[in-house]
Structure 1
């Protein structure tokens, strides 16, 4: 009996979505991906300071985890300077600048 019925699947339901609904759903998904900046304890901050100083003096590569725009990012490069609350990093032929309070972890490679 249902041999002659051709269902359009999801095509018939997409016309129900108004542009405002699509925009709201995209915004909701973007908000769910946002991460809160974690609080770091004093011992971890002291250890990161030691690693930053060691990497700066030895010229070693570092892998830093940086909190930027509600996301954690991994960055690898050489520290060129640490001054006035910022860390300057040479990464793939470009210079990057990160605030010290945005750095979550430092690892010497």
Structure 2
């Protein structure tokens, strides 16, 4: 239990220290190879430069208040990074994973 609590605190601290970032995976048309949009994937770069895979921190945050904080951070970041691009290209789309408790 102590380890999980320490890891959750590290995630929270990482959000506050801007250690998280977004990578965009292009979604490409099989027909003409044009870019239709992107999937936004959250990543965590620790102060030592190592990148923590999402499957190492997302399951820890699930069903905790951190899940919502991470999701809202991602949405806010996406609005700032690609909001203008999406307005200029309304045919494009952006996908992201949202935990069910956020939707409920």
> In which range does the TM-score fall when normalised by the shorter chain?
under 0.3
Higher helix share: 2
TM-score relative to the length of structure 2? 0.27
Higher strand share: 1
Determine which structure has greater relative contact order: mean sequence separation of CA pairs < 8 Å that are 6+ residues apart, divided by chain length.
2
TM-score relative to the length of structure 1? 0.26
